[in-house]
Structure 1
Amino acid sequence: MDRSVMLAVTVSLVVAGVVTQVSCRRVTNAKVLGFDWKNCGQPDAPAVLKTLALSPDPITIPGDLTASASGTTSVELAAPLAVNVTLEKEVAGFWVKVPCVEELGSCHYEDACEILNQLIPPGQDCPEPLHSYGLPCRCPFKAGSYSLPQSDFYLPNMDLPYWLTNGNYRVQGVLGSQGKELGCLKVALSLHSD
């Protein structure tokens, strides 16, 4: 067996072993560096993120974040709205797919609309600044253009599995409905914490 293949298999097994021991720790004094994003869907994809700007660089946790974004959808985004997430972590120079453990990692979510309903129950106002700008926070999202002007947010300390607290990451999310891909987004970042 080729040495690089053997190393990749070994690293994958080590990462899988680490991931299965999901114990969380409080992330304090963390920094997100090198945040980058791009659309990865077809040129005629119905749902597209047009702009996304985050500052400062690096982003500190806990700390203040300024964000703006815009996007469009040519179709209504309604339940069930599937999302396939692929999370990769760089380990010893190789990109290793992180398995789905306790709904975190490379997971398939049958209905993102239901997840939004759990986070922000129907009947409850959308959180700021979405509420002020009249932006929806739950399904259905009507066809059209959406824009979040430059807005300030506070990022509190958070609990993350210890294997997710330091390193370089790539995340791809594919949005779909009834077997049809509606959009795709790739994000890359480095996370460093004390």
Structure 2
Amino acid sequence: MANARFCFLMMLVIVGATGSKGFSLNNCLTDDSNSPLRIEEFSFSPDPIRADDYVYMSFKAEVTRNVTLPLTLSVSVKKITFFGWEMPISCLATGGLPFGSCTYDVCSAMDHLESSYGCPSEFTAAGLPCRCPFTPGSYNTNTAPVRFYLNTEGLPYGRFISSFLAGKYRTVIRVVDGNNSDVMCIDMRYRMVN
């Protein structure tokens, strides 16, 4: 379960292009010309995302330069309801890494998960780091898509709450470095089904 959260967190950090159907993604940096993370390709399936099922993602990205640690990841998750109103989803603790609208120290979270559960085999196969720092270079999962399971069993109130997961979502993810400089910002929209 924590491995799934780790992979989901990494998916959110690494994405940077648009997909099909219910998924779209836009860069929300006002000027990304100096961004240390460049996404060249991105895809995932299935679309829409299914709770209690596997999600596969592929990407090709480049880290263009070293970044100053710590890296802070801020996630804002909102469910899009009637008439386009966006209902904020609070940061929820589930015994592992919290999820929802949360703020993370990226390196501390990755260190904890990697030392507790190991590095996912898909990351190892693709040469993706499971700990900081992220060294400059190209990262590509196109030959071995990263697979993770979206398990609702660990959610508060388990299967009851999973019935409310279906719908459209907007997630804004911003990463800043130790100098408070933008590393990445993405605005992602997607659908979930049961």
TM-score by length of 1: 0.69
What does 1:30-49 correspond to in 2, within 5 Å? 34-41=22-29, 42-44=31-33, 45-49=35-39
- How high is the sequence identity, in percent, across the aligned residues? 27
Q: Which moved more, 1:173-182 or 1:52-61?
A: 52-61
1:149/1:78 CA distance change after superposition, 3 Å: farther
Secondary structure of 1:114's counterpart equals helix
User: Which 4+ runs in 1 deviate beyond 4 A?
Assistant: none
Offset at residue 120 of structure 1 (A): 0.8
Offset at residue 80 of structure 1 (A): 1.2
Task: Report the AA paired with residue 134 of structure 2.
Answer: F
Structure of greater Rg: 1
What does 1:13-92 correspond to in 2, within 5 Å? 34-41=22-29, 42-44=31-33, 45-77=35-67, 79-92=69-82
Distance in 1, Cα, partners of 2:130 & 2:42? 17
Distance in 1, Cα, partners of 2:92 & 2:121? 31
Question: Aligned Cα RMSD in Å?
Answer: 2.6
- Larger proportion of strand: 1
Distance in 2, Cα, partners of 1:121 & 1:166? 33
User: What does the per-residue CA deviation read over 1:22-79, in whole Å, with 9 as the maximum and x for residues that have no partner?
Assistant: xxxxxxxxxxx72222322223122232221112334444444443101122222463
- Larger proportion of helix: 2
Secondary structure of 1:70's counterpart equals strand
TM-score by length of 2: 0.69
* Structure 1 unmatched ranges of 5 or more: 1-32
User: What does the per-residue CA deviation read over 1:116-151, in whole Å, with 9 as the maximum and x for residues that have no partner?
Assistant: 1111118x8632122123221211001222111243
